[in-house]
Amino acid sequence: MVRVVICGASGRMGQTLGRMVKESPDLELAGGIDLRPGSFFGAEIVAAQDIEALLKSKKPDVLIDFTVAHAAVENVKAAAKNNVAVIVGTTGFTPEQREVMAAAIEGHVPAVISSNFSVGVNIFWQLVREAGKLLGDYDIEVIEAHHRNKKDAPSGTAKTILQILDDEIGSRRKLYGREGMMERGNEIGVHVIRGGDIVGDHTVMFSKNFETIELSHRAYDRSVFASGALRAARWVTGKKPGIYGMNDVLGLQKT
């Protein structure tokens, strides 16, 4: 039985994770952390400042974080200090924040950090990598869409797409949106859409004269991310300290 604590327990992802943990016979919901105390699915939610007290009293195996960057850094530090493995699906970290998390994790606890925990997205990344190897001389555009409340843009998933393309075709200038009179060059166009309750759409378009190839992934429900995060939580338990990716969990090529 893997004991799980969820950060951002009162949010949409936190509620989805809590419900799915509660429904899983091999997982136990040990508690939650949010801005304000409360409860969910029969477990206690404590205020963020009380995270260490919760970790010491409940002794969870894994902490899952889908919050915001500054909060996630503190949650990861607290988990590592208390020998709790970490799953981080939060995006929007600065390089400095990533360094702080890495310093807390390395040599202390195992962690799976990914900009997207959907199994489908991780396979989608592999397809983008293969396409990049074969279509490097095509014009490339990246389009992503999320709900109106998502703050970081482009999404972490889109940034991973751009990194994969840079790895395979070499670094190109990124042009974020277009306006006015301009000729298309050798840039990669990046387009961000925010509206309504869109869960997450990502498309990579490879275009040349007379043909276009599109690779797309569309998420219809947050449960796809939660399911992947719980798969990672089961996998990470007992692993050696260090930072892993979802590719390690799924046995895929490193993205």
Q: Give yes or no: residues 198 and 237 share one domain.
A: no
Kindly report the pTM of this predicted structure.
Answer: 0.86
Q: Give yes or no: residues 140 and 213 share one domain.
A: yes
Query: What sign results for the dihedral spanned by CA atoms 111, 115, 121, 124?
Result: negative
Q: Give yes or no: residues 44 and 143 share one domain.
A: no
Q: Give yes or no: residues 95 and 43 share one domain.
A: yes
Quote the domain boundaries for residue 156.
119-219
Q: Give yes or no: residues 214 and 241 share one domain.
A: no
CATH classification at residue 76? 3.40.50.720
pLDDT tens for residues 74-127?
A: 999 999 999 999 999 999 899 999 999 999 999 999 999 999 999 999 999 999
Q: Nearest-5° angle of CA 90, CA 94, CA 97?
A: 80
Q: Give yes or no: residues 109 and 226 share one domain.
A: yes
pLDDT at 254: 67
Mean pLDDT of 135-148: 97
Q: pLDDT tier at 51 (50, 70, 90 boundaries)? A: very high
Q: Give yes or no: residues 226 and 202 share one domain.
A: no
Q: Give yes or no: residues 155 and 233 share one domain.
A: no
Q: Give yes or no: residues 108 and 234 share one domain.
A: yes
145 burial type by CB count under 10 A (0-12 exposed, 13-18 middle, 19+ buried): buried
Asked whether residue 74 is domain-assigned, the answer is yes
Q: Which residues are catalytic?
A: 146, 150
CATH classification at residue 208? 3.30.360.10
Asked whether residue 213 is domain-assigned, the answer is yes
Q: Give yes or no: residues 125 and 197 share one domain.
A: yes
Asked whether residue 255 is domain-assigned, the answer is no
In the 3-class helix/strand/coil scheme, how is the chain assigned residue by residue? CEEEEEECCCCHHHHHHHHHHHCCCCEEEEEEEECCCEEECCEEEEEHHHHHHHHHHHCCCEEEECCCHHHHHHHHHHHHHCCCEEEECCCCCCHHHHHHHHHHHCCCCEEEECCCCCHHHHHHHHHHHHHHHHCCCCEEEEEEEECCCCCCCCCHHHHHHHHHHHHHHCCCCEEECCCCCCCCCCCEEEEEEECCCCCEEEEEEEEECCEEEEEEEEECCCHHHHHHHHHHHHHHCCCCCEEECHHHHHCCCCC
How many domains are contained in the chain? 2
pLDDT tens for residues 187-199?
A: 999 999 999 999 9
Q: Give yes or no: residues 146 and 210 share one domain.
A: yes
Asked whether residue 158 is domain-assigned, the answer is yes
pLDDT tens for residues 4-37?
A: 999 999 999 999 999 999 999 999 999 999 999 9
Q: Give yes or no: residues 34 and 16 share one domain.
A: yes
